Amino acid sequence: MNFQRNDFPTGFLFGAATAAYQIEGHQFGGAGSTHWDTFAAGPGNVVRAENGALACDHYHRFAEDLDLTRDAGMDAYRFSTSWARVMPDGRNVNPEGLDFYDGLVDAMLERGLQPFQTLYHWELPSALADKGGWANRDTCAYFGDFTDVITDRIGDRVASIATINEPWCVAYLSHFLGHHAPGLRDIRAASRAMHHILLAHGTALARLRDKGMSNCGIVLNFDHTEPNDADPDATQAAATTDAIFNRWFIEAITKGSYPTEALEGFAPHMPENWQDDMELISQPIDSLGVNYYTRHMVSADQGAVWPHAVSEDGPGDKTQMGWEIYPDGLRSFLSRLAHDYVGELPIYVTENGMAWNDHVKDGVVDDQTRIRFIDDHLAATRHAITDGVNVRGFFYWSLLDNYEWAFGYEKRFGLIHVDFETLKRTPKASYHALKSAIAR
């Protein structure tokens, strides 16, 4: 890598991120069925109908995984606490689930890793999905109850709590585009989910404030969006796409409003009196998590219904996901967020990474493309810091190869290779390169 730890401000955190369902093994420890289990069981939804039942078996191997995180010289570890593990039916507590996270947090602290918790990284208990999931307003209050339960157990030891991971994926990708659980293509359900996921954030944040927590935020994903050509309709389509993907959540949280371009489509289907929730949604946060992966080019499709837009991957080199590698987009978002929305508020890059078709050969995974990827995105982060943006840390996605949702186990994002037959962990060349760069 072309940087060293001291190229970043003192106290800048380097870490890796994971999420519960993608690594733990949901069949263990009394966790309840989630809407991902049922989505995966439906034909054509997930590659080979794979699910998170075993995943990386982190449930039994977390000590080894955290040893590897510590040995890489990392400062922090981003993880999520599965609602369905802690409350299998979404309402009643599973003591084993609480014990697991209690031990996990202690194991991080024993290794000198700051625990960065995310409350919801997509494991909606099936019992709540049956009642309408995120289209149902009641789910927000239930999420508040889950927040209370898990925070009462581990809140005294976590460095940071993010309420929701990537609300765009929870709401739009899952209820409008149908690519993630629950796999709906329904504008009414999508409009409600777009609002309710923010109401859940606001509800959880209020519960956390009641407990005196002052290390709270949310993790949003951003996708660099540009018009594909000079056609004014393409410019409009790109603006609408940007409003849905990049502005809806951050504007609600920081300004208490939704962008007009997005409301044009959603307003007729929104829950009644949604405006009354905006005060709760826009309570101040303590930090913002930014997930960034790629750029999309947008063309107009006036023959189609709203949002009259078609997105395609940008023209540059692609990852195994087919996503364009576009580090400038990260710099641009960090600056845009500071300038337009959060000012001096601490920002963490909570996810950035790439999938590649990695193989172990003679005990080695030589992932040079990932080394360049990380280097270039950390350079973009450094540029943003030089531009005056208050970026406090960077978490690579992901520590381990894992369950990549609708793509099953096929896409490998990890710094550490996982053989899904034997579950053997093999640190990749990128793990070793990052370790050398961030060594003290």
Q: What are the catalytic residues?
A: 166, 351
Q: Which is nearer to ligand IFM, 225 or 291 (CB)?
A: 291
CB of 351 to ligand IFM, least distance (A): 5
Q: Which is nearer to ligand IFM, 3 or 407 (CB)?
A: 407
Q: Is 426 left (phi over 0), alpha (psi -120 to 50) or beta?
A: beta
Nearest to 423 by CA among 105, 74, 59, 98: 59
CB of 403 to ligand IFM, least distance (A): 8
* One-letter identity of residue 38: T
How long is the chain? 440
Specify which residues 161 forms β-bridges with: 117, 216
Do residues 120 and 139 touch, judged by C-beta distance below 8 A?
no
CB of 166 to ligand IFM, least distance (A): 6
Place of tokens 């149902």: 136
CB of 175 to ligand IFM, least distance (A): 17
Q: Which is nearer to ligand IFM, 146 or 395 (CB)?
A: 395
* Binding residue for ligand IFM, selected from 135, 198, 404, 418, defined by CB under 6 A: 404
Q: Which is nearer to ligand IFM, 164 or 184 (CB)?
A: 164
Count of residues in contact with ligand IFM, rule CB under 6 A: 7
Compute φ and ψ for 384, nearest 5 degrees: -65, -40
Q: Which is nearer to ligand IFM, 221 or 228 (CB)?
A: 221
CB of 270 to ligand IFM, least distance (A): 26
How far apart are alpha carbons 237 and 261 in whole angstroms?
A: 9
How far apart are alpha carbons 273 and 370 in whole angstroms?
A: 47
Nearest to 114 by CA among 65, 158, 67: 158
How far apart are alpha carbons 292 and 22 in whole angstroms?
A: 19
Does residue 223 bind ligand IFM (CB under 6 A)?
no
- DSSP classification of residue 339: I
Do residues 140 and 89 touch, judged by C-beta distance below 8 A?
no
Do residues 87 and 125 touch, judged by C-beta distance below 8 A?
yes
CB of 272 to ligand IFM, least distance (A): 31
Q: Where are the alpha helices (DSSP H) in 211-339?
A: 232-242, 248-255, 260-266, 278-281, 328-337
Site for ligand IFM in 9-68 (CB under 6 A): 19, 22
Q: Which is nearer to ligand IFM, 101 or 413 (CB)?
A: 413
Do residues 198 and 139 touch, judged by C-beta distance below 8 A?
no
Q: Which is nearer to ligand IFM, 22 or 117 (CB)?
A: 22
How far apart are alpha carbons 42 and 282 in whole angstroms?
A: 37
**Neighbouring residues of 34: CB distance < 8 A, sequence distance ≥ 6:** 21, 26, 52, 82, 84, 122, 123, 124, 125, 126, 129, 181
> What x-and-dash track marks residues 290-329 binding ligand IFM by CB under 6 A?
-x--------------------------------------
Does residue 163 bind ligand IFM (CB under 6 A)?
no
CB of 292 to ligand IFM, least distance (A): 10
The residue with its CB nearest to ligand IFM is 19
Do residues 222 and 289 touch, judged by C-beta distance below 8 A?
no
Specify which residues 347 forms β-bridges with: 288, 391
> What x-and-dash track marks residues 349-368 binding ligand IFM by CB under 6 A?
--x-----------------
Does residue 166 bind ligand IFM (CB under 6 A)?
yes
* Binding residue for ligand IFM, selected from 77, 120, 397, 409, defined by CB under 6 A: 397
> What x-and-dash track marks residues 333-352 binding ligand IFM by CB under 6 A?
------------------x-
How far apart are alpha carbons 294 and 354 in whole angstroms?
A: 10
Q: Which is nearer to ligand IFM, 101 or 222 (CB)?
A: 222
CB of 304 to ligand IFM, least distance (A): 26
Residues that bind ligand IFM (CB under 6 A): 19, 22, 166, 291, 351, 397, 404
